[in-house]
Structure 1
Amino acid sequence: MLNRLRVERGLKQNDLIGPGLSASYLSRLESGERPATPHVVAHLSKRLGVQPTSFATHVPANSLLLLAKGTSALNSGTTAEAARLLSDAADSAELLTPEMSALLWPIQWQLVQVYDGLGEYQKNESILSRLLEHPSTKANPQLRIQVLVKLSETLRNLGKPAEAVAAVEEAWSARDSLDTVDLGDCLHIRIAAAAAHTEAGQHLTADMHSSWLLDHLDEAEPHLQARILWVSAGCKIRRGSAQEGLKLLVRAVGVLDSRVDPLLWARLRLAAVALHLRVNPKPAPELAHWLAEARSALTLVGEPRHLTELALMEARLAYAEDGLPRAARLLEDALAQGKLLSHRDRTQAEILRLRVSARLGDTAEAVRELRALASRLEQDGHFDLAGDAWRTTSEIALPPEPAQD
């Protein structure tokens, strides 16, 4: 249609280009390979002397086609291509009339899954906030709960624990408007609540949710059993019950078949390595085995975010095994992709980098950077991470005295 309107008016492509609209972009618009954004529609309608609604006739078909292509790209593992196609689909769907705007919801939800694998947490926060205002979400409490639970997870990854708690508490309130509460929905909310309150240092509330989850463990599907054990392990370890938490996580590693959810199966092994090293810095024999299993699975199904998490965990194990040069290289690789990591993982990687740097001889600079990092974490309200940074500073600045004969 765009090509027809341009030709009818005797215009060349160069006559239509403008801010945000290059000749190559215009060619793709005319061929149907790319949708027009609302800004471009406003520009073209003015140049061509037509109403913006003139461009809406083909939007639903374009949006559906891009959604289908984006989903296929995601399923085939080409995540960056999936992000581009789904972003185009969302731009196209923005032009839909209010009556047809429901199509925007599945497009944006699929885009959230893509950005999650790419570590694009800020983009997800923006999309999820818009989804909360979507008419479909407002009209359906179950959709609202789903969005709020995902938003809480995203906010935790961004290092915003108080906001993560607020989101999951809103989800908890939304369930009161449901006629019946599905057990699966309740488990998802409780898992998100336990994680958010743990991250915020609200351990009594986190324990309440964790205890309820463990009481209903046998009623859950295997993949939810694994998540319940994982989040409960984190709750216990963060409040000081390290051995108890580690037992739960080892149990989580064994409860899930790799064929059920290979990505979760692999990430559980990364979590088990991390928590085991937190409890006992001396590496146990099974840690290398768990990492090898995780590596084989993530090579096949992992997104960029998960591969960066793998590199960080391999660095932690290398450090525990006194392989300092290898640990330094792996940490450099992980931190080069630091935006893919959650705030907690990125901070812990930075603390470990400074620990390695000190052991390789640059103690004074490592101590200076650790003190600055700990102060920033305290100012931002991340007190447990600040505690990790201060403890590391003390261990580096005041190494243990040699044993007396």
Structure 2
Amino acid sequence: MGVARTSSSQGRKTVTTSDLVGLRIKTVRRQRGLSQAQLAHPELSDSYVSLIESGKRTPTPAVLELLAQKLDCSLSYLINGVTAEQMEDIELALGYARLALENGEVNEARTRYIELLSNNNLTGLTSLRQDTEFGLALAHEACGDVDEAISILLSLRDEELSPERRIEVAMVLCRAYRDSERLTEAVEVGERMLVGNERLPWTDQLVELGATLLSAYYQRGDLLRARQFAAELLNAADVLGTPRAIVAANWNASSVANITGHDEEALSFAERAMAVQVENGQPRAIARMRLALLQKRLRARPHEAQAVRDALRAAVAEFEQTSTSQIDRARVHVELAYAEYMTGDLDKAVEHALIGRELLPEFGHALGAEAGLLLGRIYGSVGRADEAAGHTASVRDWLTPLPDSRRSASTWYATAETMEQLGDSDGTVEAYQRALACVGL
């Protein structure tokens, strides 16, 4: 058995799992009023029991089960220090927290995970404790507290994890960095797992991680690498032939095609991914993909704006009922604002742009800049110049804290065009300069 914990005092003996098991056996034996010989007879020798109790021998599973029967205690207690009833309570509480997260009750889920982590019985249950911390990171992400989610994930990444859990942690961490516009860190996390001679063979989980890495590539403007990696992911998905791999690879290939101006090809990839996702995916993933598909349709086929608007109105309710993050919910409101603007309902467009912006962390997010820019255009279209100028100027506050990226460059460029229409010549020049700086010019 492995090391349970290490003392910080120099020279003090490291306490191993075998020590703890032996100590529990000794404690229960004494509580039962038995000697080592009485506990051992007739199956074991008293010297063997002594070695187990002192941590010098690691009992086999069969011996542990025998000792649990003779001591009239649960096997779970000897191994983990908790009774079967306590273990059942922990697993039940963890199940409730997961269910709350899946049902979109994200604050309730976060509370349940935090309460569970305060349970002292969880301390020695490494796997369950890691499950709980990972769930809490997902709940923080869904509540919009991405920094706290990142902190937990970084701590987990430093532990000894199963291969599956290590990939999951990397995927969510990569996504959290990407959604925080920390694209260099997102790429570093993904490449740490996927690039190099020691990379594992492709699996569903690795293709999904690769898809997250791919989105970080194209968001920061590395389109050559994005095109190459998109083709690699599509090939991997075709070989695997599994729904998860097909969805992840096709969806992100769609985004790359969209960025490079192949709109209809992008929709074809996206619709293939969506068809598979609806049949096999989880509610959160389906909701997020549906929103992104509607975004692509709105830009590729503006003549379908009314149908997209109706679908986005339904998506608002769908997002509220699933464990999408606060940033995801902001995104659906801002996208609905665009659709309302394109179909002429300016009051609704303003309402949803403001809701979306309020859901975001204060400044430092491109989506907030896009909402402010849309509000500037709306007010400018009805002659309310002062309000238009104020909202357009707010774009600077949202974008300035962000690192340079393709998305920031695009938003600065659109801001420059809007300021030019509003007659703000100084602001126009500054915005064009910022757009050029974001692409290294």
- Fold shared per TM-score above 0.5: yes
The equivalent of 1:269 in structure 2 is: 290
Contact 2:204 2:244 in 1 (8 A): no
CA deviation string 1:21-64 (max 9, x = no partner) = xxxxxxxxxxxxxxxxxxxxxxxxxxxxxxxxxxx977975755
The equivalent of 1:74 in structure 2 is: 101
Deviates more, 1:119-128 or 1:340-349: 340-349
- Aligned positions of 1:171-250 closer than 5 A: 171-173=193-195, 176=198, 178=200, 181-218=201-238, 219-250=240-271
Q: Does 1:351 align with 2:373?
A: yes
Q: Which runs of 5+ in 1 are unaligned?
A: 1-55, 401-405
Q: 1:395, 1:109 → 2: CA distance? A: 44
Letter in 1 for 2:222: Q
The equivalent of 1:113 in structure 2 is: 138
Q: 2:147, 2:196 → 1: CA distance? A: 24
Q: 1:398, 1:284 → 2: CA distance? A: 26
The equivalent of 2:128 in structure 1 is: 103
Q: 2:349, 2:263 → 1: CA distance? A: 25
Letter in 2 for 1:192: T
Aligned counterpart in structure 1 of residue 118 of structure 2, from 84, 91, 95: 91
CA deviation string 1:100-155 (max 9, x = no partner) = 44432111111122223222211110110110112x22xx4443232112111110
The equivalent of 2:157 in structure 1 is: 132
Q: CA deviation at 1:170?
A: 0.8
Letter in 2 for 1:169: E
The equivalent of 2:73 in structure 1 is: none
The equivalent of 1:166 in structure 2 is: 188
Q: CA deviation at 1:173?
A: 4.7
Q: Give the share of equivalent positions with the same residue, in percent.
A: 20
Deviates more, 1:370-379 or 1:238-247: 370-379
Q: 1:356, 1:94 → 2: CA distance? A: 56
Q: Which runs of 5+ in 2 are unaligned?
A: 1-79, 423-441
Distance 1:78 1:257, change over 3 A: closer
Secondary structure of the 2:399 match is helix
Q: 1:191, 1:341 → 2: CA distance? A: 27
Contact 1:328 1:353 in 2 (8 A): yes
Distance 1:368 1:385, change over 3 A: farther
Contact 1:63 1:93 in 2 (8 A): no
Secondary structure of the 1:129 match is helix
CA deviation string 1:292-344 (max 9, x = no partner) = 55356445435463444332222111011121111001111222222499934
Q: 1:106, 1:88 → 2: CA distance? A: 14
Contact 1:371 1:390 in 2 (8 A): no
Distance 1:240 1:340, change over 3 A: farther
Letter in 1 for 2:150: E
The equivalent of 1:396 in structure 2 is: 418
The equivalent of 1:328 in structure 2 is: 350
Distance 1:304 1:188, change over 3 A: closer
The equivalent of 1:23 in structure 2 is: none
Deviates more, 1:369-378 or 1:240-249: 369-378
Q: 1:236, 1:93 → 2: CA distance? A: 51
Letter in 1 for 2:418: I
The equivalent of 1:48 in structure 2 is: none
Q: 1:72, 1:268 → 2: CA distance? A: 21
Secondary structure of the 1:338 match is coil
Letter in 2 for 1:301: T
The equivalent of 1:156 in structure 2 is: 178
Secondary structure of the 1:192 match is helix
Contact 2:81 2:121 in 1 (8 A): no
Q: Does 1:310 align with 2:325?
A: no
Q: 1:378, 1:340 → 2: CA distance? A: 12
Letter in 2 for 1:208: Q
Deviates more, 1:186-195 or 1:239-248: 239-248
RMSD: 3.5
Contact 2:174 2:186 in 1 (8 A): yes
The equivalent of 2:167 in structure 1 is: 145
Q: 1:118, 1:341 → 2: CA distance? A: 17
Secondary structure of the 1:106 match is helix
Q: 1:193, 1:66 → 2: CA distance? A: 33
Letter in 1 for 2:293: A
Q: 2:276, 2:119 → 1: CA distance? A: 43
The equivalent of 2:70 in structure 1 is: none
Secondary structure of the 1:256 match is helix
Q: 1:261, 1:72 → 2: CA distance? A: 12
Q: 2:137, 2:361 → 1: CA distance? A: 16
Q: CA deviation at 1:260?
A: 4.0
The equivalent of 2:322 in structure 1 is: 301
Q: 2:304, 2:112 → 1: CA distance? A: 44
- Structure with larger Rg: 2
